[in-house]
Amino acid sequence: MSSLRDIRQRIDNVRSTEKIIKAMNMVASAKLQRARAQLEGVRPIYHELKRVVTDISRYKGTETHAFFEKRKVKSSLYVVITSDRGLSGSYNANIMSKALDHMNHGKNEKIFVIGAKGHEYFKKRNKNIIRTVTNINDAHVYYGAERLANWIIELYLSDEADEVFIVYTHFESVLNYVPYVEQVLPLPIKSEEYAYEDDMKYEPDIHAFIDHLIPLYLHMNLFRAFSESHTSEQAARMVNMDSAGKNASKLIEELTHMYNRRRQANITQELSEIVGSANVLSKGESHDS
């Protein structure tokens, strides 16, 4: 049985936790707004570039280009995007188990991990992490994605990785985000599809065009994947903090009920004690007289 003072103490504790939760909720929702604006900005250029890449893959002669040519796979590079901080529910767990699942299908993996959570997770499982980036400043993401794209291309062209996957969380709505594993290199060739009559010309020539297109496409793709993940993370945190806030309010309510009931019980007990002793006293008086 906890005393009145203990309950009072617990209510105070939960109340201050609730305040922290509310603050985190507000921070996450502000960050979500910003992340969403960034994501909505990058999506159109990504989709258009993806369409250009798909169009070009139907073009004769692209299958021999280094970015399209299928090689014998000796090692696969995974770019896994996780978050640095927790308290975002199953967000990190989902993306990491998705990545692990994909790797366990007989891949000789090399992992580039973004975010401290992912680093811990893959380190614990003795995976081959070749590079880690943590504590990313939001302002540096754009140029970071560009550097990363160039690094991936270098690795790919120097035969250190024969295929490249990015693992990210696709943001669909505030309540719905889906982890994805997407193959970025080599690019898929659509030659088996009906090669449609296209009079599109590429200048200066097709290979030079691809050489310029692919770094831009990869840059935009990585930037988009990061924006998707970042937006999902903030949404997950916001939703989680929302339910945590509700739980805290409920707990406070229950504890307050308990506190009041205990207080009433104490008063009742005191009253009955007083009445009882008064009765005893008055009985004693009547005996005396």
Binding residues vs another protein (CB under 8 A): 40-42, 44-45, 48-49, 52, 142, 198-204, 208-209, 212-213, 216, 219-220, 223
Question: Closest distance between another protein and the C-beta of residue 152, in Å?
Answer: 17
| Residue nearer to another protein on the CB measure, 45 or 100 | 45
| Residue nearer to another protein on the CB measure, 52 or 130 | 52
| Residue nearer to another protein on the CB measure, 42 or 189 | 42
Question: Closest distance between another protein and the C-beta of residue 115, in Å?
Answer: 22
Question: Closest distance between another protein and the C-beta of residue 208, in Å?
Answer: 7
| Residue nearer to another protein on the CB measure, 11 or 166 | 166
Question: Closest distance between another protein and the C-beta of residue 39, in Å?
Answer: 10
Positive or negative torsion for Cα 162, 163, 164, 165: negative
| Residue nearer to another protein on the CB measure, 67 or 91 | 67
Q: How far apart are CA 273 and CA 97, in angstroms?
A: 63
Polymer length in residues for the chain = 289
For the chain, the straight-line distance linking the first and the last C-alpha, in angstroms and rounded, comes to: 44
Question: Closest distance between another protein and the C-beta of residue 226, in Å?
Answer: 12
Long-range contacts of the stretch 263-266 (C-beta < 8 A, 24+): 263/4, 266/4
Count of CB atoms situated within 10 Å of the CB of 112: 22
DSSP 7-69: HHHHHHHHHHHHHHHHHHHHHHHHHHHHHHHHHHHHHHHHHHHHHHHHHHHTSTTGGGSTTT-
